[in-house]
Structure 1
């Protein structure tokens, strides 16, 4: 299934595709690590990096999209992981909107939203966050120091009934939403903000 003009990789109906969204400012080994873990842990066929034009929850704009896309594609070293600028192409700003457009562009594809435990902590601040939970399964991969905060977050409590036990995590990619799963994985303790602060990302000055 090719969708000309969408910037999406080829995909077939019934494939299980994990979606890792973010500014990727810059992309780094941590993004790649959790993507590979998600493929294994959640029974996924593909992972797509949705490189966003900008994050509504961040006060400062990211580096130019073209630079972040190029850096992400240069970093990816796995055939099941792909990078797309879909959000910029369709003009969506929030995740709920992006998911609606993805499902329209790729009927029959089983999408799973992926996030780190830090995002689950503040997930209730996202636009229409409840509709996201009801639209697609959500896979949460733990990051150092945030396990307890994530598992007691507003979203975790609100959808406690839909939580899939970690030993059953490979069922998530084919689960009927609402469904979410929290897994502990060995993590690469990197962050884009720390890389920018050290001046190691040429796309934007620190700060």
Structure 2
């Protein structure tokens, strides 16, 4: 919701990946279970949860985003990632191509935001960073362009969400966004 409001987006597509090439997939719940968990959390008419990567057979974010830009001509797409992903973004397959393909919004999830901002990708793209008070212009910006959004912080990464699901319901803590 923070990104949707601050960026002036019409919709958010929450892409649930079949697996992260940079992480071990052992013990990863089935995709359908993760899609259901994401849908239960999303509960907003303008947030669409999708498993499109499994449907189209892509493994890397760049391939998925390239597919979406080809399939959705005229749609202004923005890639939204958590700040924890920015910290390791330079290890992603074709990360520079992702930055050149479409604008990026980085959402601070809590913790020390200086670490992701000091990461190699953030430093490499520093001159393309928009001021946060200009975040509404990101969707219309020409890539490479990115913004770092501070605001309501949720520590819920996909890993944290899966861990939360494994706890008994009586122990689960409510989440506010």
For structure 1, the residue ranges without an aligned partner over 5 or more in a row are 1-35, 203-207
2:31 is equivalent to residue 65 of structure 1: yes
Aligned residue runs from structure 1 range 150-189, under 5 A: 150-189=116-155
For structure 2, the residue ranges without an aligned partner over 5 or more in a row are 170-177
Q: Deviations over 1:171-195 (max 9, x none)?
A: 1111111100012112123344345
Structure 2-normalised TM-score? Answer: 0.87
Partner of 1:200: 167
d(CA) in 2 for partners of 1:135, 1:190: 27
d(CA) in 1 for partners of 2:89, 2:98: 10
Q: Deviations over 1:133-167 (max 9, x none)?
A: 00000001112223111111111111111110011
Name whichever structure is richer in helix by fraction. 2
2:46 is equivalent to residue 80 of structure 1: yes
Structure 1-normalised TM-score? Answer: 0.75
Aligned residue runs from structure 1 range 1-207, under 5 A: 36-61=1-26, 62-194=28-160, 196-197=162-163, 199-200=166-167
Residues 1:154 and 1:72: Cα distance change in structure 2 (over 3 Å): same
8 Å CA contact 2:16–2:35 kept in 1: the answer is yes
Runs of 4+ in 1 over 4 A off after TM superposition: 194-198
d(CA) in 2 for partners of 1:150, 1:162: 16
Give 1:125 deviation, angstroms: 0.3
Name whichever structure is richer in strand by fraction. 1
Residues 1:196 and 1:121: Cα distance change in structure 2 (over 3 Å): same
d(CA) in 2 for partners of 1:166, 1:197: 31
Give 1:75 deviation, angstroms: 2.7
Question: SS where residue 135 of structure 2 aligns?
Answer: helix
Give 1:83 deviation, angstroms: 0.7
Question: Which structure is higher in RCO with an 8 Å CA cutoff and minimum separation 6?
Answer: 1
d(CA) in 1 for partners of 2:163, 2:33: 18
Taking only aligned residues, the RMSD between alpha carbons, in angstroms, comes to: 1.8
